[in-house]
Amino acid sequence: MPFLKKVHGSWLIVNGKRTTTNHKLQTINRKSSGFTLIELLVVIAISSVLAGVAFVSFINAREKSIDKKRKSDILALKQALVTAKTDDGYYKNNLTDGTLIPKYINKIPQDPILSIPYIYIPQPPNCDATSTCTSFSLITCLDNPKDKEQDDAITYANSGCTTPASYTTTSPQ
């Protein structure tokens, strides 16, 4: 134990050295040059939560954007088919014979992700090149199961889609 002796009020002699009684411990006066571990963990936790929310929002926005493109494509295709019917008097029995291009539409649109044609179902079921098709359905599969314009459960079940939802447009309506 060091030797303490009171000398002249606020001065002490500790082990033969003079010091003041006003001096505080170095650890208390020490200035912080970085962040504590708790502060860093709080910042990391908040950043992780914000990144998770942003990621989910980005995925949902992407699904909605792709589904909007799909619906826009089949509505443009529907308009081309209706215009062709005005000229020919009947709907086309298929989309692959090239009779719509370039007079009614520049190219037959395809699914932006799967790169496959949209589902085209001419009606009546047995219409072909020799008989007239009086109506049709165009179907696209949707990624967003919360889409407000999606098909009912029965139409979806018959669409052949493996995605969470489908969208169908028909003519005449």
pLDDT band of 53, cuts 50, 70, 90: very high
Least confident range of 20-24, 139-143, 147-151, 162-166: 20-24
Q: In which residue are the tokens 């139409």 written?
A: 155
Residue extents of the structural domains in the chain? 1-31, 69-171
Q: Is 162 helix (H, G, I), strand (E, B) or coil?
A: coil
pTM for this entry: 0.67
Six token digits for residue 68: 């909007």
DSSP state for residue 32 in the 8-state scheme: P
